[in-house]
Structure 1
Amino acid sequence: MTSLHTTSVRRRRLGVVTAAAGLIATLFTAGPAAATPDPGDAATTRSGVSVSEQAEARAAIESGEIPGVDEIVHSSNIKHLANVPKDALKGLNTDLAFQGKYAYAGNYDGFRIFDISNPKKPRTVSQVLCPGSQNDISVSGNLLFLSTDSSRSDNSCASTTQPATEKSSWEGMKVFDISDKRHPKYVAAVETACGSHTHTIIPERKNVYVYVSSYSPNETFPDCQPPHDGISVIKVPRSAPEKSRIVNFPVLFPDGGNPGAPTNPGVSKTTGCHDITVLPSKDLAAGACMGDGLLFSIKDPENPKIIDRVQDNVNFAFWHSATFNQKADKVVFTDELGGGGAATCNDEIGPDRGADGIYDITGKGDHRKLVFRSYFKIDRPQADTEVCVAHNGSIIPVKGRDLMVQAWYQGGVSVWDFTNSSKPKEIAYFERGPVTLDEVTTAGPWSAYYYNGYIYSNDIEKGFDVLKLDDRRTDPAKKVRLKELNVQTQPDYFDR
């Protein structure tokens, strides 16, 4: 483990933007196989940066408007405690989950387990080679869940890429036994229609329900046929995970969902969901589903019931993820404009696209409605070579306030306050400068989450970061302690 040097904090000019069962996991012993990215959250390096754009970026660096290549800058209320670079797993770093003194980090080539008992010196406990795009990750008790959203030759961790047009190809959910953190065991696999881009768990005493989000069906894909207007619900018995099975495929869009272009130009056609966040204490879920945002009841987890549905056909291109506030009277939806492969934090795009949308929840019971209040987007200037867009984050548990930490790819980590739904504001940040000035490159934090007093971030290329936030507005959260955190399964922080 090495720590990157943190540069002195600059006075930066803000406001520039006008805007199958029983298998043993294959542990790393040799070079990892390459995983093939799928649409949405796909990592891409794109050429075509003009000479003038490169010159503008260099001028912005020289003037101090943006940090230099790979330079670290941050607000005065954030400290960079540690960075752990990639090691055995060379793929893209993705999502995070937490349990006790452990952090679990997804990677396109598998997953890594960190001991974070000393946040200043995270230590690698194990690395599991199990290639498959996304490798979205969750944990519950002795079980770890891993999403595979790239077509593979089989369901093993030794699989290779294979066209989705072949019937024998496999995508879906994998389940590991992590009772021995040093030697996780692969114990179950469940194939799901169109794979598993992300997943969300609903833990119960005897079972764990898994909501599988996937999308982009195609008539040439035998296991991913249109219409694909719902989610897969998997039931996993804790005592016998090898008996995991799909128990339902509820249709969430009986009318087919948002038609996208040409009816709604610039908006994704809804062919499934990208991500779902559940709030079990309130029997609620919020779905970010490509062209639609959903609020639904999970009182019966096998049969979710839609309460309300909203669209934003002016500024939202791709509904990517959702976060409830603690009182469950607000939802923050993110727009992944450009699919995680475009520079969107600039004057050309403006402040309302590629942003967060803040919605109040009004009414009661089945009559609740999602009511739009405002957009939030970081106003720290980014170079046109930097992929920057709203991505994964979590609330920071402070009574009486709505605070959130969020990843913005090369826009870095942002801490912001949406207590006033109509006037959100950033209160802290951490970011690195451009990876390069020669190409538009996907990099930066994929996820940034608050857990037991610290912010943990999984940077797509630079590795696992630990940040400490010291601010009177967020300090009360340091007293809140959790035994387990899967951000898409939001806890009730103050009623446990």
Structure 2
Amino acid sequence: MHAWKGWYLAALVCGVVTALAIPLWAAAAPPDDTADRPHSQNMHLIGSSLRAGAVTGPPPVGPGDVPWDTRNTDLAFWGDTVIQGRYDGFRVIDARAPGNPVERAFFTCVSPQGDVGVYGNLVFRSVDSPQRTDQCTDVAQSGNPPDADCAPVAAPCTGFEGIQIFDISDLSNIELVASVPLDCGSHTHTVVPDSDRDRVLIYNSVSGAGLQVNPGKYGNRCPGLPFNREDIVEVPLSDPGSASVIGSFSLGQLPDGRVITTCHDLGVILGSVKRAACAGNPGVPVFDISDLENPVFLYATTAPTVTGFHSAAWSWDGSILVTGWEPGGGTLPRCQATGTPISPPTAGSSVQTDEMKTIFFHDGATGEVIGRHVLPRPQSQYENCTMHNYNVVAHPTRNLLVHGSYQSGTALVDFTDPANAYEVAWMDPDPLDPPSDTSPGGRINFRGGDWSSYWYNGRIYESDTRRGLYIWDVSAPEVRGPVVMLDHLNPQTNHVSIP
């Protein structure tokens, strides 16, 4: 084990969750790459670790496209280590010096979409499209295997999709220790620690389920819609290579009888609250997870005009559930001025609505919508935008949210009074160069922005799909005073409750 990793394990063993007074702003030498990234005066860029990403597109492929997708995706945190997912693998970044975060390892594994989780020296990674092998490769291996490779199963069959588990204890020799096949793959996953039983559970989320496909040689298949379940993977910490599916639970239905088909993200809070919320289609079911292997359906909620939810998160006391959706799939401009004509239409409307750029706040006990936040800065017709990934600041007295929303950038929102939520700080980059070719192939090179932005231990960490990792300080009274310092963070999981 590298010496710089040992402290992180010690932090977890000691159960470090402490309150620390955050100063107004500790000045640092700012990087020189903010010219095209306008921001509020209380946002201060202090460091970056860049690795370029690119986006491929549907035929015809646009000029300059790469053979496979290399965009940066989600983040997870262990001590001072940041794991940044990518479509072509993942990065391990040492952020002990936030003004100079250093990439310690880049592990290549070409398979989308590469959302990540972490627990100790284990990294978990989602694969959500069929691959011809369950091993990592440095070239694209996407697609179902040739019929001849389906034997002894029926042809046509599906390739590997599911969860990959890596041991990163030796950064010079990162090992893939398990590939767990899952029906319809893994779009995202939620890490649920169960220290009493020396294991981690993973709640696996499937964003979409395509046509029915025969099981492949790895055992997974895709039965098509409705895919009304969440699978549970058990990872024994003493033997992570033996990880396997141990059960599943139904996503239920809305009060009007509509079945909830698939779950894009699942937000969990442990501690004394023990709840899970699935950002599903067309609603959000909420579960009691007192028994981690057997979640119990409590209720399902929705919001006006929303066709399918994207993300769900909890306030740290469990009193408020935060939801958002992804009109346009994250690739289209859905944060323009309200009333602006849009094409193609979304949610049955041909004009931009407030709801397309809204985060909803729900009563955690009932699901009732008790407030909302509408993105206050309209974006251009060339800027792909949706309220994508976010988390709630671990704060004992206020409810604060950090969100990353593609080309609208990153923002900090105070929803302590959910009926009157307001933006505290923001960074909104200039549009990527407007395309001269507006065909799908031409436009693809101009998709980008923030996949996710999260608050972790007094700072904002931004995952830019095209650029890499940025770290920000915020000087605002809302974040002054006692802020809970965490020993780790998988943003889909509040692994403690406060108070």
What range describes the TM-score normalised by the shorter chain of this pair? 0.7 to 0.9
C-alpha distance in 2 between matches for 1:493 and 1:457: 24
Which whole-Å CA distance do the structure 1 matches of 2:206 and 2:122 have between them?
Answer: 22
Question: What is the CA–CA distance in structure 2 between the aligned matches of 1:276 and 1:316, rounded to whole Å?
Answer: 17
Which residues in structure 2 correspond to 1:81-480 (within 5 Å)? 81-86=46-51, 91-158=70-137, 160-163=141-144, 166-205=156-195, 206-222=198-214, 223-226=221-224, 227-253=226-252, 270-281=260-271, 282-312=273-303, 314-347=304-337, 348=340, 349-361=352-364, 368-438=365-435, 439=438, 440=443, 441-476=446-481, 479-480=483-484
Q: Which residue of 2 aligns with 1:481?
A: 485
**Matches of 1:466 and 1:183, distance apart in 2:** 27
1:6 aligns with 2:34: yes
Deviations 1:426-448 (A, max 9, x none): 11001211012225532111110
CA shift digits 1:244-263 (9 cap, x unpaired): 1111121222689985xxxx
What is the Cα deviation at residue 298 of structure 1?
0.9
In 2, Cα distance between equivalents of 1:436 and 1:88? 16
CA shift, 1:219, in A, is 3.8
3-state SS of 2:388 partner:
coil
CA–CA distance in structure 2, aligned partners of residues 397 and 186 of structure 1: 32
Question: What RMSD in Å do the two structures reach over aligned CA positions?
Answer: 2.2
- Superposition deviation, residue 397 in structure 1: 2.4
User: 1:256 and 1:396, CA in 2 relative to 1: closer, same or farther beyond 3 A?
Assistant: closer
- What is the count of residue pairs matched by the alignment? 414
User: Which residue number in structure 2 is paired with residue 78 of structure 1?
Assistant: 43
Cα distance in structure 1, aligned partners of 2:33 and 2:73: 23
Identity over aligned pairs, percent: 29
Native 8 Å contact 2:410 2:453 kept in 1: yes
- Give 1:290 shift: 2.4
Q: Is the 8 A contact 1:378 1:414 kept in 2?
A: no
Output one character per residue of 1:135-192: Cα deviation in whole Å (capped at 9) or x when no partner.
1100112211100011100100027112388425110001011222343211011100
Provide, for residues 290-314 of structure 1, a one-character-per-residue CA deviation record: whole Å limited to 9, x for no partner. Answer: 21112111111111111110123x3
Question: Is contact 2:37–2:429 with CA below 8 Å preserved after alignment?
Answer: yes
Amino acid paired to 1:147 = S
The AA in structure 1 aligned to 2:223 is Q
Equivalent in the alignment of 1:60:
none
d(CA) in 2 for partners of 1:181 and 1:275?
29
Deviates more, 1:289-298 or 1:431-440: 431-440
Q: What SS is found at the alignment partner of 1:128? A: strand
SS at match of 1:303: coil
Q: Which runs of 5+ in 2 are unaligned?
A: 1-29, 55-68, 146-154, 215-220, 341-351
Separation in 2 of the partners of 1:257 and 1:150?
A: 32
Residues 161 and 423 of structure 1, relative CA distance in 2, 3 Å threshold? same
Deviations 1:455-489 (A, max 9, x none): 11110112111111111111235x53221110111
SS at match of 2:387: coil
Separation of aligned partners in 2, 1:3 and 1:355? 31
Partner secondary structure for residue 38 of structure 2: strand
**Paired amino acid for 2:144:** P
CA drift at 1:193: 0.7
Structure 2 Cα separation of the partners of residues 258 and 484 of structure 1: 39
Contact 1:406 1:449 in 2 (8 A): yes
The answer to whether the 8 Å contact 2:255/2:300 transfers is no
| Amino acid in structure 2 at the alignment position of 1:217 | A
Report what 2:23 is aligned to: none
- What CA distance in whole angstroms lies between the structure 1 residues aligned with 2:488 and 2:277? 21
Aligned partners of 2:240, 2:74: CA distance in 1, in Å? 23
Question: Residue 20 of structure 2 corresponds to which residue in structure 1?
Answer: none
**Alpha-carbon contact 2:301-2:367 (below 8 Å) kept:** yes
Following the alignment from structure 2 to structure 1, what is the Cα–Cα distance between the partners of residues 462 and 144?
33
- The Cα offsets for residues 368-424 of structure 1, whole Å up to 9 and x where unpaired, read as 411112321211121110011101111122222111111011000011011111111
Q: Residues 224, 330 of structure 1: CA spacing in aligned structure 2 closer, same or farther, 3 A cutoff?
A: same
- Cα distance in 1 for partners of 2:468, 2:387 equals 19
TM-score in terms of structure 1 length: 0.79
The answer to whether the Cα contact below 8 Å between 2:414 and 2:421 also exists between their aligned partners in 1 is: yes
Query: Matches of residues 22-41 of structure 1 in structure 2 within 5 Å?
Result: none
Q: How far 1:106 moved relative to its partner?
A: 0.2
Question: Whole-Å Cα distance in 1 between the matches of residues 358 and 426 of structure 2?
Answer: 16
Query: What is the distance in 1 between the residues matched to 2:264 and 2:381?
Result: 26
Please state if 1:491 is matched with 2:495: yes
Distance 1:188 1:352, change over 3 A: same
Q: Is the 8 A contact 2:42 2:474 kept in 1?
A: yes
Structure 1 gap segments, 5+ residues each: 8-70, 260-268, 362-367
Distance in 2 between residues matched to 1:258 and 1:169, nearest whole Å: 34
Q: Distance in 2 between matches of 1:345 and 1:217?
A: 27
